[in-house]
Each structure stands twice: as structure tokens, then as C-alpha cells.
Structure 1
Amino acid sequence: MELRQLYYFVKVAKREHVTKAAEELHVAQSAVSRQIHQLEEELGAKLFLQKGRNLQLTPVGTLFLKRAEVILADLERAVVEIQEFLDPEKGEVRLGFPHSLGISLIPEVVSAFRKQNPNVNFRFKQGMYPSLIQDVMKGDVDLAFVSPCPETHAHVTGQTVLTEELFAILPTNHPLSQEDSIDLIQLKDEPFVLFSEGYSLRPIVSDACKEAGFEPIIGFEGQETDTIRGLVAAGMGVSLLPEMALQGSGKLQPAKVRVKSPRVTRTIGLIYRSNEKLPLVAKAFQRYLLDFFACVEAKNRL
């Protein structure tokens, strides 16, 4: 069975006439008739019945038409996807990232990239560190931001693109809320609002507290930066958050204070599948991101 036979069959089925289908296909009527006949012989069933000057699908022909249309549609999509894969100015970038980056960073870089590449679309997927690694491995996303970047991994690779400082966040009526900076040990008796287990920011905060000489008292747990920020602003405890997660809106906002000892940071990596070429559009976005973060790091050093 040839794809040409399927294509001719669908055209005849839609036009209900061999001559009209042949005209639309710009081929001889005899060529269309021959391909339909060969297809019926191979299937061992009649696909059309003569009805006056037109043709009518048999029950078998109606069933076969549904399948043939699916096959041809899938083939057409595959051709489009391949063309987009090979065109750095078209197609779709599938990007994964943790929730904390979705507040400002992702909208900023995607918007700037699309100003230069308006024909590129994006599909986003948010998740925790383990799920983002899996999304990259399974091919559900082309690129993903994770924190931290895995040093060694059998199936994904990447590079650290940004180091970000974490700040203490406190209720606005907290005695330390007006300080320019504090030592983390000053919060040892406070309840902490932490991310749930599995979120990469949780061990960063816990390890920083241990380095300062205490175990954090866990008062509440949350799964989104908005929740952490809101609970702290409502007086339910204190926490540490990266600066880009503190750009919330609304009346209820916590105070932000720099932590001078120990200095608390997180690294953000950009990862992709090892030993596999990225679609050209994703490769173009990857290059854009590396240039973008190189500029950010250079400004931070000034």
C-alpha cells in the first residue's frame, strides 16, 4: 500500500467523483482509477459504489476513510514538525521551570526572545527538581531550569547560568524588619515557613540554618512562593527567598532583609538531554539564554 493510493482515495471520497478528484490532483483520470483499483485489490474489498454519475463510499470505504485521514494528517504534522525542527525562526520551544522562576524571569526572557523571533511559540511545564529532570529525560521538554544544576547525570547535561542571593523575609512588624542586614542566627527562635519536601529551596534554607548553628523551627510548609510570602507577611513566621520570588503584588507583603552571615545563595542551571541534538529553535533560545545570563552576571559583578 502506497501513500499515493491513500491520498487519491481520500480525494475521490471527498469529491465523490474520479474526474473531479483527478482535476484537483492535476493527474490523469486513468491514473486515479488505477490507484483506487489497486488499493481495492490489496484490501480485498470494494471501497466505492457507482451512484448515477457519482461514487458513494461502501461501509468498508467509510471505515477506511476515517483511518486514511488520520494517517495523512499525522504525516502532514510530521512534515511540519521536521520543517520547524530545522528552522531556528519557527516552531515551538518546550520549556520547564520551577514555580519561583515563573513570577518574573520566565516572562521576561520569553517576551524579549519573541520580540526578535515572533514566529516562535512556547509550551511551558512547571515542576519540582525531580520531575523537571524526568521531563527532560522523557523528551517532554527541550530545556529546563533547575536548581541546582546536576553535576553529573547519565541522561541530562547543562550549565549553571545564574547565582542568586536569598534574603530573609519577615513580617513588617518584626523587630528586625527595618534592619539593613542581619545574621541568620538572629532568627533561631522564630518559626520558619519552608517549602515542602522535594522543593530545592527547602534544603538550601535548612543547610544555611545549620551553618549558622541552629535547626530551624518549622512552623508551616507551602508549595509556592506566593504561599510562603503570604504566610510570612501575615505574621506566621519567617523564611528565606530568592529576590526574584519577592516580586509579588498585593497589599500583604513581607519585609526583605539581607542576610550577611552566612551568605545564602542558590544556583540555577539550564539543562537538556545528553547526546541528543536540540531542535534548532530550542538551540537558538538556549544561545539567547546563555548570552542573557552572561550579561546579568557581568552586571552583578560591577
Structure 2
Amino acid sequence: MNLKHLEYFRVLAKVQHYRLAAEQLSIAQPTLTYAITELEKELGVYLFEKNGRNIRLTKYGYIFLEYVEKSINFLDEGQRKIADLVSPYKGRIDLSFIYTLGSRFVPTMIKDFLSIDKHKNISFSFSQGTTKNIIEGLKSDKYDLAFCSSIEDEPDIDFIPLIKQDLVLVVPFGHPLASYKSIDLKETEPYPFVFFNKGSGLRKLIDRLFEEVNITPKNIYEVEEDSAAIGLVSMNFGIALLPDIWMLKHFDVKAIPIINPPYERFIYLASVKNKYLSPAVRLFREFAKEYCTLHSKKIKI
């Protein structure tokens, strides 16, 4: 069924005059007559009947008009929705991020982004998870962008390093290591650990650090996110290697800088390569890169 023919029918149903309807549609009257005839042939009923010099809807025409109105209005709504989504200053951004970034980094950046007047009509949906789950969500179009760790063997994902993140050894107060001002991981060998599970993007880096000092940590508990690890450490279930995040100051734990082995840990902006991104998503992606470059020394994670 031809969409133009439906629009012609809707206008003619309101005007009830072929010449006036054709003028309103900016088409020739024979073109309108042909369209209505083809529509009636397809439906197998007459939609209009003569009413003096004018025309009027048949009972079938009234029934059909109700559905045509709903259909065209629904399509118009969809068109407006798409127009909003592809507008650089409207639409929604589906953003995912690792748990570490949910308390300070992401809320602060989004607040600064939306404080710009031309960005105020852009909305966000947020999701948190492990890097592994986040990458799967990117590839399945669940998310537009993500802040996460980098994963090897993901050729379809573009990882842009945004900001360097320090790791620290976290121990409960009163622990034998709590008096240290810095730590060589070799000195942690006697103590049980709380570890991130294998879905965490940080887990491979932590495993590699222990391999470099040639020790196998006593891994007692595995968790998915930072607050659970900090909570377990504070209750003396073990010690942990964690990102140096502001949340550590709110628990009865001590964060000790790591001096050996050397490492680099970055937070990345991830997206699917060669995938269409709406103007609003592209706008925020560029903002995030510039934001982290300008404020790298001030950003609190």
C-alpha cells in the first residue's frame, strides 16, 4: 500500500472536494483521482461517493480513515523521534561504565557536559558492569559508548585511553602492612587476598603484576565491584589491589602506593569501530576526550 496514496486519501477525506484537495497537496487532480482509484481497487470497496458537486466518505471510508489517521500519526511520531535522536543537541546517549567510575567520575563529567546550555536537551541512560559485559553490550548495540578497561583480541572495538588510574594495596587498619608508606608486591605473599573476578578488566593486569614478582597470591574471595572488595577488606577478610578511588576514604582501610612492579593502568573510552553514532553521541565522545585532556590532574575517580 502506497504511503502517498494514504496521505492523499486523508486530505481528500477532510476537504471532500477533488480540486481543492489536489491544490492543497500541490498535485494535479488526475494524479489524485488515479491514487484514490488504485486505493479503492486494492481494498475492494468504494471509499467516496458523490454528494452534489462534492464528495463524501462511504461507511467503509470512515472505517478506513480511522486506521489511516492512526498509522500516519504513528509514523509522524517515529519520524520526529528519529529527528530528535539524530539532532546534535537532542536525543539520548546510552552509556555504560565500570563500577569504579559510578560514584564520582561519570556523574561529574555528565554534570559538566549538561551544564553547557546547548547540551541541556540531551538525555542519558546509564548502565554499570564488568568490562567483559560492557564490551558485549557495545557489540550488541545495547550501548553507544563505554568507559572501561581495555581487552585484548577485540578488533571491532576502538579503545581510546582517557586517563591514567593508580592502583593501591588496600589493607585494614591494624594489619601488619598498615604501617607501610609504599609496598613491593613481593611483601604481600603471606597474606590472603580479595580479588576481582575474571570478568573484570582489571583482573588480567593484577594477575600480570603478581607474575612479575613471581608469587601466587592466596585468593580467598572474588568479587565483581569495588565497594564489595573494600567492605571485605575493612572486615579483615583479606587485602586487595584496587583502583585509588575516593571511596577508600570512607572505610576503615589504608591505601598503600605500589612501587614494584611498575605498571600503567588507563580508563578507556570504548565504542564499536565503523558503527554509526548519532550526532549527540559523537558530540559527547569528543567532549569526554577533551574533558579528560584538560582536567587530567584534577579528575577524581
| TM-score between both structures, scaled by the size of structure 1 | 0.77
Please give the alpha-carbon distance, in whole angstroms, between the structure 2 residues aligned to 1:4 and 1:216.
70
Task: Please report how far the alpha carbon of residue 192 of structure 1 lies from its aligned counterpart in structure 2 after TM superposition.
Answer: 0.7
Q: Secondary structure at the match of 2:174?
A: coil
2:138 aligned to which of 136, 139, 146:
136
Question: What root-mean-square deviation, in Å, do the aligned CA atoms of Structure 1 and Structure 2 show?
Answer: 3.8
Task: Please report how far the alpha carbon of residue 293 of structure 1 lies from its aligned counterpart in structure 2 after TM superposition.
Answer: 1.4
Q: Deviations over 1:209-229 (max 9, x none)?
A: 222221111111111211111
The 1:270–1:39 alpha-carbon spacing in structure 2 relative to 1, beyond 3 Å, is same
CA contact (8 A) 1:149 1:269 kept: no
Task: Please report how far the alpha carbon of residue 122 of structure 1 lies from its aligned counterpart in structure 2 after TM superposition.
Answer: 1.0
The 1:272–1:54 alpha-carbon spacing in structure 2 relative to 1, beyond 3 Å, is same
Number of the residue aligned with 1:112: 112
The 1:223–1:70 alpha-carbon spacing in structure 2 relative to 1, beyond 3 Å, is farther
Please give the alpha-carbon distance, in whole angstroms, between the structure 1 residues aligned to 2:129 and 2:76.
32
Please give the alpha-carbon distance, in whole angstroms, between the structure 2 residues aligned to 1:240 and 1:299.
23
Number of the residue aligned with 2:53: none
Tell me, yes or no, if structure 1 residue 284 matches structure 2 residue 283: yes
Task: Please report how far the alpha carbon of residue 59 of structure 1 lies from its aligned counterpart in structure 2 after TM superposition.
Answer: 11
Q: Secondary structure at the match of 2:265?
A: strand
Q: Residue type of the partner of 1:138?
A: S
Q: Percent identity?
A: 25
Q: Residue type of the partner of 2:244?
A: E
Q: How does 1:186-205 map to 2 (within 5 A)?
A: 186-205=187-206
Tell me, yes or no, if structure 1 residue 100 matches structure 2 residue 100: yes
Number of the residue aligned with 1:125: 127
| TM-score between both structures, scaled by the size of structure 2 | 0.78
Please give the alpha-carbon distance, in whole angstroms, between the structure 1 residues aligned to 2:100 and 2:79.
35
Q: How does 1:32-111 map to 2 (within 5 A)?
A: 38-45=38-45, 61=64, 65=67, 69=70, 72-85=73-86, 87-111=87-111
Q: Residue type of the partner of 1:39?
A: L
Task: Please report how far the alpha carbon of residue 234 of structure 1 lies from its aligned counterpart in structure 2 after TM superposition.
Answer: 1.1
Unaligned runs of 5+ in 2: 50-55
Aligned length: 287
Unaligned runs of 5+ in 1: none
The 1:46–1:126 alpha-carbon spacing in structure 2 relative to 1, beyond 3 Å, is farther
Q: Residue type of the partner of 1:269?
A: Y
Q: Residue type of the partner of 1:107?
A: P
Q: Residue type of the partner of 2:149?
A: S
The 1:171–1:294 alpha-carbon spacing in structure 2 relative to 1, beyond 3 Å, is same
Q: Residue type of the partner of 2:157?
A: V
Task: Please report how far the alpha carbon of residue 120 of structure 1 lies from its aligned counterpart in structure 2 after TM superposition.
Answer: 1.0
The farther-off stretch of 231-240 and 118-127 is: 118-127
Tell me, yes or no, if structure 1 residue 232 matches structure 2 residue 233: yes
Tell me, yes or no, if structure 1 residue 259 matches structure 2 residue 258: yes
Q: Deviations over 1:36-88 (max 9, x none)?
A: 66534322257799xxx9976799749x829x735652453244324541x32
**Higher Cα radius of gyration:** 2
Q: Secondary structure at the match of 2:178?
A: coil
Task: Please report how far the alpha carbon of residue 285 of structure 1 lies from its aligned counterpart in structure 2 after TM superposition.
Answer: 0.9
